[in-house]
Chains A and B, each alone.
Chain A
Amino acid sequence: MTEQMTQIALTGNEAVALALKQVNPDVAAVYPITPQTELMHAFAAYVADGEVDTELVTVESEHSAMSATIGAAAAGARAITATSSQGLALMWEMLYIAASYRLPIVAPVVNRALSGPINIHCDHSDTMGARDSGWIQIFSEDSQEAYDNTIQAFRIAEHRDVLTPAMVTLDGFIISHTMEALNVLDAAAVKAFVGEYEPPYNLLDTDHPFTIGPLHLPDFYFETKRAQQEAMGRVIPIVLSVAEEYAKLSGRKYGLFESYKLDDAEAAVVVLGSAAGTAKVAVDRLRQQGKKAGLMKLRLFRPFPGDEIAAALAKIPSVAVLDRSISFGLKGGPVFNEIRSACYGKNIRLASYIYGLGGRDVTVEHIESALSDMMKANQTGKVANTCNYLGVRE
Chain B
Amino acid sequence: MKVKKDATWREVPLGGIIPEAGTAQEYETGSWRTYRPVHHPEKCINCLRCWIMCPDSAILAKDGKITGIDYKHCKGCGVCAFECPPKVKAIDMVLDEEK
Query: Using a CB–CB distance below 8 Å, which chain A residues touch chain B?
Result: 100-103, 163, 200-201, 209-214, 216, 219-220, 222-224, 226-227, 230
Q: Pick from B10-18, B62-70, B87-95 the stretch touching chain A.
A: B10-18
Whether the Cβ atoms of B15 and A103 lie closer than 8 Å is yes
Selected contact of B14 from candidates A201, A209, A213, A220, CB within 8 Å: A201
Contacts of B18 in A (CB 8 A): 210-211, 214
B5 on the interface (CB 8 Å rule)?
A: yes
Closest CB in chain A relative to B41 CB, distance in Å: 35
Contacts of B11 in A (CB 8 A): 223
Q: How far is the CA of A102 from the CA of B13 in the complex (A)?
A: 11
A/B interface sample: 15 pairs, CB < 8 A = A100-B15, A101-B17, A163-B14, A163-B15, A200-B15, A201-B14, A210-B18, A211-B21, A211-B23, A212-B15, A212-B17, A214-B17, A223-B11, A223-B12, A224-B12
Count CB-based A-B contacts (< 8 Å). Answer: 54
Contacts of A214 in B (CB 8 A): 16-18
Given contact pairs A211-B23, A219-B5, A227 touches B17 in the complex (Cβ within 8 A): no
Contacts of A101 in B (CB 8 A): 15-17
Given contact pairs A102-B15, A201-B15, A219-B5, A227 touches B20 in the complex (Cβ within 8 A): no
Contacts of A223 in B (CB 8 A): 7-9, 11-12
Q: How far is the CA of A214 from the CA of B13 in the complex (A)?
A: 12
Q: How far is the CA of A226 from the CA of B10 in the complex (A)?
A: 9
Selected contact of A210 from candidates B5, B7, B10, B19, CB within 8 Å: B19
Selected contact of A224 from candidates B16, B19, B21, B22, CB within 8 Å: B16
Selected contact of A227 from candidates B5, B12, B19, B23, CB within 8 Å: B12
Contacts of B8 in A (CB 8 A): 223
Q: How far is the CA of A201 from the CA of B21 in the complex (A)?
A: 14
Q: How far is the CA of A213 from the CA of B14 in the complex (A)?
A: 11
Whether the Cβ atoms of B21 and A227 lie closer than 8 Å is no
Q: How far is the CA of A222 from the CA of B6 in the complex (A)?
A: 12
Q: How far is the CA of A209 from the CA of B15 in the complex (A)?
A: 15
- A216, A220, A226: most-surrounded residue (chain B CB, <10 A): A220
